[in-house]
Amino acid sequence: MATKLYQVEHLRRRFFGLKVDRPRAEPGEVLVLTGGGAPIVLWPGQKTTPGEATWNGYDTVHRIDTSKREFSMHESVPAKGGDVFFSVDLSASYRVSDPVLVINENITDGTPILRRVLLETISRVTENFDIEDVQPATKAVRELLDKGKFTEKLPFVLSAVTVRLQLDTQAKEFLRTRRQQRQDALLAADRRQLIEAEGETGMLQQQYDIKLEQERRRFEHELDRQRVEMELQIQRMRLNEVYKPMIEGGLWSVLAQQLAQNPGDINKVSDMITTMHERKIDTDIAVLRTLIDKDMLEDYQAVTVVEQLVRNLVQGGTPADRALPDAGPDRFDAEDASAEEDDV
């Protein structure tokens, strides 16, 4: 058990109170005389004068130990929020710095008051730090203790202070649970983002597939159109190569024989004859108009040309009638023509 901070002794008076003991403070102690006026503090090597001891009525001397004493504590201090706590380990040396206050407060042991004041001081610091911020909290406590302002109202001075904050079992479990929850939340968020990304990817893929299918159909349609156009072009070229020379040359018997072998070409050849006839009529009219406008024809010539043009219009007839017209100078027998017309 630690010794008390001070011992109390009564001064002896002799010779009818005219002589009083005059105690002297020894190294490592301070004397405080009470019972008279204001307390007298005697530091090592000091003692009262004869008058102070005799006439001021001091009757009690307090011998206060001023040597260094060791102090340590292991306590819990709150973290931010107050739900969990830091574990604080503190050790220090202290000695009396205000002997009169020790006597007035009747402090015989400095440990309880130091523990209370230190806990209050450290708690005011740590309650501003989260349980994960052990190192910053320790630094802040260390800086406060180094300044020593918290001991201004204490009759002690501290030295050789060491302090360490750590997590107790409950705090470690709390922190583990929190980190696990945080990790679970992050995983859940990542999972949601992945699902959303997959949904967006699927939607984009679907849109891409639709667009690709549209492009494919458009391409196939264009390909079919070009194929049909090419077939028609080839067919027109074949008709022009085969039938156009016959029509232009008036080879109607040959044309009839060719159509008899290819009855599917009859309507096409009929349309070809109609088109060629219409073009020829248009050309003749244009030429006639030019000749008339430029006054290049005599009256009798104009009449002859117009009559010929009218005959051409009249002889044109329907496509069916123009399919096998007379061949002019090359006309064949009536029976052959009749037979060829039947074939057509």
* Stretch among 48-57, 114-123, 162-171, 251-260 having the lowest mean pLDDT: 48-57
Check residue 25 and report its DSSP letter.
Answer: P
Q: Give the model's pLDDT for residue 335.
A: 38
Look at residue 288 in the predicted model and tell me its pLDDT: 76
Q: What is the pLDDT of residue 198?
A: 87
Give pLDDT, residue 47: 74
Least confident of 52-66, 220-234, 272-286: 52-66
Q: What percent of the chain has pLDDT over 90?
A: 20
Please tell me the predicted confidence (pLDDT) of residue 294. 76
pLDDT of residue 319: 39
Mean pLDDT of 245-269: 83
Instruction: Please check whether residue 167 is in contact with residue 131, taking contact to mean a CB–CB distance below 8 angstroms.
Output: yes
Mean pLDDT, rounded, of the chain: 79
- Say how far apart CA 290 and CA 309 lie, in whole Å: 15
pLDDT of residue 261: 85
Q: Confirm whether pTM is higher than 0.75.
A: no
- Is the Cβ–Cβ distance between 90 and 118 less than 8 Å? yes
Of 9-13, 19-23, 238-242, the poorest mean pLDDT is in: 19-23
